[in-house]
Structure 1
């Protein structure tokens, strides 16, 4: 099977696409456009610049900035040289960025000093801990900064480099990219993905997702996330065109779909909700769309039905994680039928992709559970990461000797093999001995017309150990808290078993989310659990 996917390793498919259609458009980002030949020349210059810094196969090169052409130039420059590209979340706080850079031990750091947490005078201190040989700037350093490592501007760094491909031929077992987990439950970990991981994912995009040479892909997710870079590489691997969005703005998304006749995209449910709420959604021309892929966080059934009605194209849900190189299951477009007898599948994450094994086990004793019973979802496939960078104990705790990866997600499989996710195991609420999965309660709350967003958490309770609390963002025009909160409690009691129902409701202007749209429930829980024995995870 690995021989079949070998052509889809990034360096390999870049060379193939340049040979096949050098003048075809590859990338569009703002006002910038690159053909395959133009892009390959720039990537080769990056590779040569890295080699001049002493970077070789297996060395780490960190990148810190928003979505844009330099991200791809650096990634493919690493691929042509055999180096490992490390994408860093530019939205992290300065100390968090420093921790990631130190963990990655990058030889070269390419960064915009003004991007998120990298700003200010902290950048030199962060770099000092990495052992980096060179800081390549995508923007000016703040006045007065004096890094301890040599500094050069990005364009000056590339100016005299020959556009010559160094010719590294990737082995499928070698590392290709390193992405960091979101850190919502602790310190971020570097997930090392191999050439084989990426190549298998790219081959799957062709065989299962319908990505092909005429694809015009909108890249809306951040490129430090597997849903961003994995999705971007999917269209590139087939010779398609990628339209890169620097920052998500629903109006800009609609404009780009119309202007470039976008055929496929991948977005998180929060973006779908923002698009539905945008004034232009009613008259936007979305006729070019073939399939909208969505995932990375739960979606309310009501939101999905409204999207199906308005967008008029196929929808496909993808479920996966960084450690599985993205998607391992898909709910296909034909399973999105809100008016048919299988409407319940709208709550499913779909069935395993080819080559993926899934099982559900009791998290306490590892016992295999039958269809319908909720436990921890585990998976085994060619998509599974090599491991966490320099963390063998954490890797061993996540992947067992037989190759089964613990996802940390609570779910169940039905008789047909459809996966139904209930929540993260760590987010499960145990109230009076009963297990409550917040996603189920949140889905009910989001069906209320006066709720714009909602999260459910467990809070301390003297009688039950913990009880269910709803944290709700009211919709525009909703009544005041003293009217809305009791109305929502009554609404839930009509639709859920009593033990699952919230016992209190907090109204907030917005929910804390990470860049991929996942609610930071640890942040929501923390104020309530201070002074209590339960660890805030």
Structure 2
């Protein structure tokens, strides 16, 4: 297999020129078309003065043009930056100021998000005219260690963090597709996660890298998504837990033919055990848990379908995200000692792998704080290992609640709350306490028509957890704030309580 992103698309275009590569709605680009159009992008970028190392932005919802730009830019050594259309204009301006793109390819509906003066090409007729020049392959993009993609965490505070990913980082993903997702050239892969996020851009390569067919979702409408799965005979997909729940509760699910569906991967946010058991029963396909992050170019841990054993002797593994992929190293490090935590001891996940980002754009100090001198990436996620090496994820280290000197991991409390039949969603945070320093608060979204109150939920938790772990207060909300990957923005929930 080719060792660069540009080389991979060239290779697939030669082998499978007429096979469908990427579909959105009624538009399908074959591998031959993707290669040819990326050549035109490369030539158009050169005509615009873009050179190797320059940044090129894409500001749009999911569309085949994202892949054209990423591959086209890579063919001349330029770097594509995925811009988050869900951000406010001021937040987009911060990212643009950080990455300084020479040019941004933008959907007209999002053009107003860009700061004045940013050079742009609007998708639609202007973009097609821009591609009207020569289609000869510029022949570049042959360095596996060259950065090809720069992705930013959504909802960041302070200076944005642009994680730089090389071809060498990203091309572990097709291997994941073959060995862990069970994909091949006949795979039809549904991608609802946004392409400015690793759960979209990186995950897409699992099937695309095999010569499989990628079906994009532009807007999250459960009925429409189920329709796409039936129409295209989707075999694989990656869904964040909130989307799994939306599809599971859609009235369209019972009438949808999902007989082609072989595997649903889930991750990017905690999934309650009750939610997971319900989904397994409803969808009737294999489920696979994954854990990873932008800085690791995607998944580094996987809970395989055979480890999903509801009601069996290994049912407890449903609370795990699985075991590390075989080509990488993983440690759980006690932050107090810097040594490996014992079995069952909670610490920070460290990963050493060819997938690890080469660093943050323009931020050498942050890079050094995140990646150790001997190549370990500090994820910031808290977890413990069992005796077999299964990773049990707790939370971000910064989300841990320290109440009266005891560590409380919100995910453990949330998993209990999700078992209550009236709870649709739950998020646990720490809030100030004069007595304990911090105390546990739950923010809960009730199911429609549910009547459970705060006292009832607290009592429910106290029957199942040590009292110091249980919420001392419960707020109810219509929805929880989330970022693009589906993770609850706990800093938004905490902010009002810690403002003073």
Q: With structure 1 as the length reference, what TM-score do the two structures score?
A: 0.91
- Equivalent residue, structure 1, for 2:490: 521
- Equivalent residue, structure 2, for 1:373: 345
- Equivalent residue, structure 1, for 2:394: 422
From 332, 338, 347, give the equivalent of 2:310.
338
**Structure 1 contact 184–522 (Cα < 8 Å) conserved:** no
1:47 and 2:19 matched: no
1:72 and 2:72 matched: no
- Aligned Cα RMSD in Å? 1.4
Cα displacement (A) at 1:186: 4.3
From 449, 454, 467, give the equivalent of 2:421.
449
Separation in structure 2 between the aligned mates of residue 137 and residue 240 of structure 1, nearest angstrom: 29
Q: Where in structure 2 are the equivalents of 1:11-160 lying within 5 Å?
A: 11-115=6-110, 118-119=111-112, 123=114, 126-128=115-117, 134-138=119-123, 153-159=126-132
Distance 1:110 1:22, change over 3 A: same
**Structure 2 contact 4–143 (Cα < 8 Å) conserved:** no
Cα displacement (A) at 1:365: 3.0
Instruction: Tell me the alpha carbon deviations over residues 465-516 of structure 1, each in whole angstroms, 9 at most, x when there is no partner.
Output: 110011011111111xxx5211111100001100000001111111111111
Instruction: Tell me the alpha carbon deviations over residues 390-416 of structure 1, each in whole angstroms, 9 at most, x when there is no partner.
Output: 100000000010111111011001111
Cα displacement (A) at 1:280: 1.2
- Equivalent residue, structure 2, for 1:391: 363
Separation in structure 1 between the aligned mates of residue 53 and residue 456 of structure 2, nearest angstrom: 58
1:180 and 2:175 matched: no
Instruction: Tell me the alpha carbon deviations over residues 173-193 of structure 1, each in whole angstroms, 9 at most, x when there is no partner.
Output: 111111112244543200000
1:301 and 2:273 matched: yes
- Equivalent residue, structure 2, for 1:472: 444
Separation in structure 1 between the aligned mates of residue 233 and residue 158 of structure 2, nearest angstrom: 41
1:321 and 2:290 matched: no
Q: Secondary structure at the match of 1:45?
A: helix
Instruction: Tell me the alpha carbon deviations over residues 194-235 of structure 1, each in whole angstroms, 9 at most, x when there is no partner.
Output: 111011222232233222100001011000000101111221
The size of the alignment, in residue pairs, is: 500
**Structure 1 contact 179–226 (Cα < 8 Å) conserved:** yes
Q: Secondary structure at the match of 2:172?
A: helix
Q: Which runs of 5+ in 1 are unaligned?
A: 1-5, 140-151, 532-537
Separation in structure 1 between the aligned mates of residue 223 and residue 60 of structure 2, nearest angstrom: 22
- Equivalent residue, structure 1, for 2:385: 413
Instruction: Tell me the alpha carbon deviations over residues 353-395 of structure 1, each in whole angstroms, 9 at most, x when there is no partner.
Output: 0211111111133122111100111111111001000100000
- Equivalent residue, structure 2, for 1:509: 478
**Structure 2 contact 350–378 (Cα < 8 Å) conserved:** yes
1:484 and 2:453 matched: yes
Q: Secondary structure at the match of 2:29?
A: strand
Which 4+ stretches in 1 moved above 4 angstroms?
A: none
- Equivalent residue, structure 2, for 1:232: 204
1:260 and 2:229 matched: no
Cα displacement (A) at 1:80: 2.0
Q: Which runs of 5+ in 2 are unaligned?
A: none
Separation in structure 2 between the aligned mates of residue 24 and residue 321 of structure 1, nearest angstrom: 30
**Structure 1 contact 235–242 (Cα < 8 Å) conserved:** yes
Separation in structure 1 between the aligned mates of residue 259 and residue 471 of structure 2, nearest angstrom: 41
From 406, 430, 440, give the equivalent of 1:458.
430
Cα displacement (A) at 1:339: 1.9
**Structure 2 contact 155–483 (Cα < 8 Å) conserved:** no
Separation in structure 1 between the aligned mates of residue 283 and residue 263 of structure 2, nearest angstrom: 10
- Equivalent residue, structure 2, for 1:3: none
Cα displacement (A) at 1:340: 1.0
Q: With structure 2 as the length reference, what TM-score do the two structures score?
A: 0.97
Instruction: Tell me the alpha carbon deviations over residues 6-33 of structure 1, each in whole angstroms, 9 at most, x when there is no partner.
Output: 6152211111111112111111101111
Cα displacement (A) at 1:291: 0.8
Cα displacement (A) at 1:57: 2.0
- Equivalent residue, structure 2, for 1:145: none
Cα displacement (A) at 1:520: 0.7
**Structure 2 contact 3–144 (Cα < 8 Å) conserved:** no
- Equivalent residue, structure 2, for 1:203: 175
Greater displacement, 430-439 / 229-238 = 229-238
